[in-house]
């Protein structure tokens, strides 16, 4: 097969003939791109464009006709490939961050509170609405007795009483639940 890159095409390309420049590009680009891809360049298309920007800017100074142009194009491609590999060696590849794979991952304070509230929901279900409100304001929101009393429209003493009764009820539920679980464990056949 005859080389599509001819001496006449090269001399017309030196004269900045757009048709000849396009023909030079179409003749050399597939080989340059294939070379850069086969060498494992990170962005071979961008490097090929850089190669042709250099080749076309140096076209008037290139000697040796079509063979000289081909040699020059591939020597520029080789230089860009070496530059690409050196750049990547200096700059390590950034790994994408996956928060779930991070061993240092800890849930946010909001998540921890929501999880604890959701876990406590079955225990809170047995309390009156006002007892639940007092515990949520005092424990989850970390409000003082005075602030909780203002929010609930009650006296500080009534909030204290509601909190005390709620904690006693929770203790009884937890103690009863633990006793039931212990009994179930003991009764299981070994």
Tens-digit pLDDT profile for residues 111-140? 776 677 677 777 778 888 899 889 888 887
- Per-position b or e across 6-20, b if 16+ CB within 10 A of its CB: beebbebbbeeeeeb
Is 35's pLDDT higher than 50?
yes
pLDDT the model gives residue 22: 93
pLDDT tens readout for residues 40-93: 898 999 999 999 999 999 999 998 889 899 999 999 999 999 999 998 888 776
Task: Please compute the mean of the pLDDT values over residues 5-34 and round it to a whole number.
Answer: 91
Q: How confident is the model at residue 182 (pLDDT cuts 50, 70, 90)?
A: low
pLDDT tens readout for residues 132-165: 889 888 887 888 999 899 999 999 999 999 999 9
**How would DSSP label each residue in 90-141?**
HSPPPPPP-TTT-TT----HHHHHHHHHHHHHHHHTTS-HHHHHHHIIIIIS
pLDDT the model gives residue 94: 74
Task: Please compute the mean of the pLDDT values over residues 23-40 and round it to a whole number.
Answer: 92
Q: How confident is the model at residue 1 (pLDDT cuts 50, 70, 90)?
A: very low
Task: Mention the CATH class of domain 7-90.
Answer: mainly alpha
Average pLDDT, the chain: 84
Task: Mention the CATH class of domain 109-187.
Answer: mainly alpha
Q: Which residues contact 123 (CB under 8 A, 6 or more apart)?
A: 170, 173, 174
Q: Which two tokens stand for residue 136?
A: 């949520």
> How many helices and strands (H and E) does the chain possess?
8, 0
* Domain assignments of the chain as residue spans, ordered by start: 7-90, 109-187
* pTM of the model as a whole: 0.48
């Amino acid at each position: 097969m005859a080389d599509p890159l001819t001496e006449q095409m090269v001399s017309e390309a030196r004269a900045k003939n757009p048709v000849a420049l396009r023909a030079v590009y179409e003749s050399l680009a597939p080989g340059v791109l294939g070379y850069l891809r086969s060498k494992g360049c990170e962005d071979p298309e961008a490097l090929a464009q850089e190669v042709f920007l250099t080749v076309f800017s140096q076209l008037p100074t290139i000697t040796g006709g079509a063979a000289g142009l081909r040699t020059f194009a591939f020597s520029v491609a080789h230089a860009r490939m070496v530059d690409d590999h050196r750049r990547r060696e200096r700059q390590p590849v950034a790994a994408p961050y996956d928060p779930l794979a991070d061993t240092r991952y800890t849930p946010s304070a909001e998540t921890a509170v929501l999880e604890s509230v959701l876990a406590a929901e079955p225990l809170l279900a047995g309390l009156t609405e006002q007892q639940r409100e007092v515990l949520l304001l005092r424990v989850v929101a970390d409000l003082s007795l005075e602030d909780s009393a203002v929010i609930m429209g009650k006296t500080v003493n009534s909030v204290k009483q509601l909190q005390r009764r709620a904690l006693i009820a929770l203790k009884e539920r937890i103690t009863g639940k633990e006793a039931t679980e212990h009994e179930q464990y003991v009764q299981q056949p070994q």
